[in-house]
A and B are shown apart, each in its own frame.
Chain A
Amino acid sequence: MSKLEYRDIKQPNYRHVGKYTPRKDAKDIVTGKAVFLDDFSVPHMLYGKTKRSPYPHARILSIDTSKAEALPGVRAVITHKNMPERWGLGLPVHRLLMEDKVYYVGDLVALIAADTLEAAEEAIDLIDVEYEQLEPVYTAEEALKEGAVEIYPRFKGNHVDNGIKYFQPDGPWWQIIRGDVQKGFEEAAYVAEDKVAFDKMPSPLAPETPCCIAKYEGGNEYTIWASSQSSHILKLMGEGRIPNSNLSVKTFNVGGSYGNKQSLMTTVLSASMLSLVTKRPVKIVLTKPEQLMAYEVRLGSTITAKIGMDREGFVRAVEGDWLVDTGAIADSVQGQVGVGLGEAQLVCAKCPNWYMDSHIAVTNKQAAGIVRGYGGQELNSCLERLMCTVMKKGNFNPLDVFKKNYIAPGDRFIWRDGRWWQSRSSLFFPEAMQNAADRFGWGEKWKGWNVPTSVNGSRVRGIGMGVIGNADISEDNTEAIVRIVPDLVGSRRASTAIIECDITESGMGTRSNACKIVAEVLNVPVEKVSITEPGSKYNPSNYGLCGSRGVITTGKAVSLAALEAKKKALELGALYFKRSVDQLDTKDFMVFVRDTPELTVPMFKLAPKELSIVGYGKHMEMFNIPSCMAIFVEVEVDLETGHTRLVKVAGGTDIGQIIDSKALEMQLHGGFGSACIDTAIFEECILDPSTGRLLTSSLIDYKWRTFNEFPPYDGYVMESQIDSFMFKALGIGEISGAAGASAVLMAISNAIGVDIKDYPATPAVILKALGKA
């Protein structure tokens, strides 16, 4: 049998899917009517503020809140001494919300609720605290050394539990142990060993700071309004922390999240505790410095590994140790380690021999949390630099190596749940890489390892590439109900379809895409389909937006629900026309006979009087459809100043089927944001080791790419109709820029002729490597 060619794939011609449809909330957004959490308030609401620790590790000797409590307008001041409940933090729980110790700069010392924001802010400075400073630990390596200061009694030697039941139902999984690495290295023609660190823990830095309103409803019930991209995750984590509680979580338009605003646990618990004490709703909105200094950032990641490659460029053995720095709070880090290890196997899918260990450490820095990339990007940034070392030994063209080694249908891997999966994803990932490379001009620009593409005086150019994939796009379960609501008075123009599903809008257009998918199934205009307000209480359950799963899993649930509703309408039509359902179809809330289209009947005549036609659909978790993103960059480095400029960026993927063309394009562009590509050039959190505080605490000090610095971007997208759900699409948002950082370091190394392994490659790093500083 000959190989399937791309041109042989049937490309469907849909009414809506694949085209650009303006988002349902587009007009609200461009007119300022869209509501974000800070635009919203609840009657009798108080404002919450937090007094935070100025020290990275200290014991609170005394705390005096009397002056703050006496300030007019202050309703409550809570410290570790008068906490009404002992709510814990972390997975597994390893500390309380507030304790007589503080573990990072920005840790909670006191919570304040007041009538006005001004009074709450003033009260912060009226609380007198006496600290005894303790020795801090700032790196995972130091933290795991024998004799290091132990931060939490729960974590012996600062070592966080490997794996937890939630992520690995069959038992903890934190190592890839496959085959025989010794044998693998013997078979390898080229072996290289190295250490690479991606440990500046940059911030995804959503424009809207994390914020929530908590309202204690009596009993164990709370209502939480939050800037969370997943009400389900917030509910899941929150109910684990507040014993026996029932949270009703409502979400709004989220002002950027990038995976980073999910459970908002410290903020939500702070507001909930203040509400429990004051019996009034309490709103907490973090300031930008709080977000930068005390909110969750990317994991710190350091890899020491040995990689063996055979003569043809296949990876034969990987042996190494992955050191993960989770900061002062370990919250879902085990899931991230699992995904990271899983993604390593997608990139080196032909490698039969593995011994990849991992260790997670707590340190006295702000907590690392969930961020787009979810462990995979942090690992990839190190692993692909290591692959470069061995590819360089064998003098391989990296494009050939990545194409050969990337996962193909039939290849097996262990995912973060600790179980084996076998890919049934695209055949065309290597072709997508090659075609994107051709458009980029890889063939002409690649001159060899550490050889610049061009030299123009002191300005040298070089190219690099990276590949990453993620099998999380079908993770977690989701359900939805679709109701065809015929109009009441007999005008089919007033008929609508309603999707009941819990989805937030955090920028990806998932809510509108769900409407589009239902409109396609029912064959009605998109504007006739609407979706319920997001919230956990009254909607069918949806795990939420994570792992690039939004459109895929929600799409599957809503498309199956719409299909069931459509079937019921056809069955009613079959009775009406006295024909078989096979002869009927629907369009614009009519059922018609396909061969005799003039025989039509509006659905309002078919549905039982006053009732709607209802369908239910669900998606069940699986991890066997990995996505893929190849990224190519060309940089120009000034050898005199050490300054790096992006000249051109290109990306290539097989997306299965485009749901919305413009939305997809922006998902690809998103790789410049949320601490991705630029973590290799200038983005970092800079810690002052003498104080434990970040020097990058404002949008002026933390570096970000501005409008006038964006390079040309060339996206290349194949649509091979992958069997993911009815509309054959894959998710891409999480990985669109995730391999960008390692690609940039490869490009810089080629440009300047010296290997760079430090993130980010600032002018100081480059000049040092060149022996100029």
Chain B
Amino acid sequence: MKKPYVTLTVNKREYRFSVGDGFGQVPPSETLSQTLRKRLQLTGSKESCSEGACGCCTVLMDNKGVTSCMILTVDCDGKDIVTIEGLEDPETGLDPLQQAFIDEYAFQCGYCTPGIIMAAKALLLENPHPTGDEIKEAMSGNYCRCISHYTVLRAINRVAGNEEDHLAVMHRANDDVDNPIPVRQELFLSPYANGTSSGHSLD
């Protein structure tokens, strides 16, 4: 017989849910994704395909990456779950992966980003220094349609301590110009001239 309760830890906080079909109870058919998103309002992870194909709903379960839309909450008794909301340390701030995603601009619409970050985190927990190819392989279950793949790989490679990733490069023609004369151009066609410094700065 199933236990009448399911207990799980989410982002270091323990929750105990009553199992059943009554109002407010967790029905046996409820997925972990539904529990996290609807019951606990942890809407960071997204549910996109609902069949484990896109990785948008990826969270950590006992430090392994799982697609939470494919797991029933009643099967999670005693599990330790970490979602994207739990990755930032309240004292030390953003996880290095999160910071790398900002520094490398490793997202566009940001919908698949929480899943991608958690999948990358799962990889790094298992293997703190994966090779570039291991990273690509590990991320291949995550869907992204804006095509942030190249910058995501840069970000993960950086956290993994690998050399800079050069799968994609963008070359600016200005770098080829000999002796460029950078000027602070007249910003606009107005009679007002433009200053360069006032000694005051908020930067």
Contact = CB atoms under 8 A, between A and B. Distances in A.
A31 B94 contact: yes
Contacts of B169: 713-715
A442 interface: no
A259 interface: no
A632 interface: no
Given A567-B190, A672-B147, A673-B146, A35 B43 contact: yes
B82 to A, nearest CB: 11
Given A11-B174, A699-B53, A22 B45 contact: no
A630 interface: no
B132 to A, nearest CB: 10
B120 to A, nearest CB: 10
Contacts of B65: none
Interface residues of B, number: 85
B20 interface: no
Interface in B47-77: 47-51, 53-54, 56
B15 to A, nearest CB: 18
Given A662-B105, A669-B147, A710-B150, A31 B87 contact: yes
A12 B183 contact: yes
A11 B146 contact: no
Interface residues of A, number: 100
B159 interface: no
Contacts of A710: 136, 149-150, 167
A590 B172 CA distance: 34
Interface stretch (A206-214, A478-486, A608-616): A206-214
B110 A253 contact: yes
B83 interface: yes
**B-side binding surface: helix, strand, loop or mixed?**
loop
A532 B44 CA distance: 23
Interface in A617-672: 658, 661-666, 668-672
Contacts of A598: 199
Interface string A688-713: 00000000001110001011111011
Contacts of B178: 7
**A-side binding surface: helix, strand, loop or mixed?**
mixed
B183 A699 contact: no
Q: Top 7 A-B pairs ranked by shortest CB distance?
A: A32-B44, A255-B111, A507-B109, A12-B185, A32-B84, A507-B108, A29-B110
Interface of B: 37, 42-51, 53-54, 56, 83-85, 87-88, 94, 98, 101-105, 107-114, 117, 133, 136-137, 139-153, 166-174, 177-178, 180-185, 187-188, 190-195, 197-203
Given A521-B187, A713-B169, 7 more contacts: A31-B88, A207-B54, A207-B143, A253-B110, A257-B109, A661-B172, A714-B168
Interface of A: 6-7, 10-14, 20, 22-23, 25-27, 29-36, 38-39, 204-209, 253-258, 287-288, 432, 435, 439, 493, 505-509, 520-521, 524-525, 528, 559, 563, 567, 570, 581-585, 587-588, 590, 592, 594, 597-598, 600, 658, 661-666, 668-674, 698-700, 704, 706-710, 712-719, 726
